[in-house]
Amino acid sequence: MPRLAERVGLSARHFARLFVSETGVTPAVWVETSRVEAARGLLETSAHAPKQVATRCGFADVNVLRRAFSRHVGITPSEYRKRFRGEA
């Protein structure tokens, strides 16, 4: 976020405060939520392996995807795909 704040001429701290006041969440939470939503879309519409989904959505690795996905959705990416496809 520091680079983004710099691009708009704000300190990182001030940028984060403004971001929270506008969105209700921190920049980090917003980014993670956006990545999880992108992962949901790929899990629903593609046959990509979870590792590929993690990479395409900007997660450091599949374990980071799994933890974030479970935190936001309540189930693992693999379980989500099974339920979405009616396999559970």
pLDDT band at 88 (very low <50, low <70, confident <90, very high): low
pLDDT over threshold 90, residue 26: yes
Decide if 56 contacts 45 (C-beta within 8 A). Answer: no
User: Which are the contacts of 81, defined by CB distance < 8 A and separation ≥ 6?
Assistant: 43, 44
Query: Phi, psi (5° rounding) for residue 74?
Result: 95, -5
Query: How is the chain split into domains, by residue range?
Result: 2-84
pLDDT over threshold 90, residue 81: yes
Residue 12: CB atoms within 10 Å = 14
pLDDT over threshold 70, residue 87: yes
CA atoms within 13 A on the CB side of 19: 19
Report how far residue 74's alpha carbon sits from residue 60's, in angstroms, rounded to the nearest whole number: 20
Report how far residue 64's alpha carbon sits from residue 71's, in angstroms, rounded to the nearest whole number: 11
The two tokens of residue 39 are 């992962």
Question: Which class in CATH covers the domain with range 2-84?
Answer: mainly alpha
pLDDT digit string, tens, across residues 30-47: 999 999 999 999 999 999
